[in-house]
Structure 1
Amino acid sequence: MALYHVGFAVSDLPAAMRELRAAAGVEWAEPRPGRIGDWDFRIVFSRPGPPFVELVEGGPGSPWDASAGPRFHHLGYWTDDIGAGVRRLEKQGFPAEFSGCPFGRPYAYHHLKSIGANIELVDAVLQPDFLAAWQPGGEPMDALHERALEEQ
């Protein structure tokens, strides 16, 4: 596993981007909309990376619901085998809080009570497309996910 980003659930994506830019000089790619299951969200990654900072603004009930306030949500890791990684974390007592796998998106969040946040495992097959999508001239995340589905 290789750490590549730190994710935050936020209720106001533009405000979070402005504050991190002002406080820490973080530069951002263009935010992009997305949808998984019944939830719409907006997402953005810092640039350059890795490591990346990810901000996700999700609606009520979504995995990124920040209606109770913004929060540290996850540490994101690439994994060469999403299934084996999920089984390993569950066996170690870290239950899956949410999985994108049933939606054709090979990632899963596993909750760690001690830090009050998740470990996100993302299948490394997505790494080249992720980097292309979040660097200048990249493609929208929806196209990235569609291509991942086609490759499975």
Structure 2
Amino acid sequence: MAHYYHVCFVVPDLEVTMRDLTAAAGLSWGRVVEAEVEGAVVRVVYSDGPAHAELVQAPSGGSWGDTSRARFHHIGFWTSDLAAGADRLTACGFPEVAPFGRAAEGPWAYFAVDSIGGHVELVDAAMRGTDAVSWIPDVPAAEVIDEHVHSCS
């Protein structure tokens, strides 16, 4: 069984949320990363782990949806084979979410899981430790979903 390595929340104010989670749970934080997504600046930070809390601050109305209030967005897992994982989750009834899917920049894809009110994110484990995901903290203990043996059951 694979273990998740992060849980993501969309938040309206990164610094306020970081402060609150530090006070409430003693979390410490990595560096804030800014990236342009859909023509707008998105800010992302991970807590030190394991497991990590990922916070995303983005403008409302884009792919991140309503960002005026804090909410759960996704739970992230490393996968041995992103394409096979995408096929597996789609076959299990969890549709790939665009534009967060593989059409977007990056070695990851998102799948709607209505029962958790958010998404499952698969991140290609081949990217661990590379520049493509250098801002994502690795969790050496986090297992990888082996897509060649895992099924919907």
Which range moved further: 99-108 or 20-29? 99-108
Aligned to 1:60: 60
The structure in which a higher percent of residues are strand is 1
RMSD: 2.0
Aligned to 1:102: 103
Q: Is the 8 A contact 2:58 2:67 kept in 1?
A: no
Distance 1:37 1:102, change over 3 A: farther
**In structure 2, how many angstroms separate the alpha carbons of the residues matched to 1:10 and 1:97?**
20
**In structure 2, how many angstroms separate the alpha carbons of the residues matched to 1:120 and 1:134?**
13
User: What are structure 1's unaligned runs of at least 5 residues?
Assistant: 136-152
Amino acid at match of 1:81: D
**In structure 2, how many angstroms separate the alpha carbons of the residues matched to 1:3 and 1:32?**
21
Aligned to 1:91: 91
Amino acid at match of 1:105: G
- Post-superposition Cα deviations, 1:70-102, rounded to whole Å, max 9, x if no partner, equal 101111000011111111111111111233522
SS at match of 2:115: coil
Alignment identity in percent?
Answer: 39
SS at match of 2:90: helix
Aligned to 2:34: 33
Q: Is the 8 A contact 2:81 2:124 kept in 1?
A: yes
Q: Is the 8 A contact 2:97 2:111 kept in 1?
A: yes
After TM superposition, the score normalised by the length of structure 1 is 0.78
Q: Is the 8 A contact 1:5 1:51 kept in 2?
A: yes
Q: Which of 132, 135, 146 in structure 2 is aligned with 1:133?
A: 135
Aligned to 1:146: none
Q: Is the 8 A contact 1:37 1:103 kept in 2?
A: no
User: What are structure 2's unaligned runs of at least 5 residues?
Assistant: 138-153
Aligned to 1:139: none
Q: Is the 8 A contact 1:11 1:66 kept in 2?
A: no
The structure in which a higher percent of residues are helix is 1
Higher relative contact order (CA 8 A, sep 6+): 2
Amino acid at match of 1:11: P
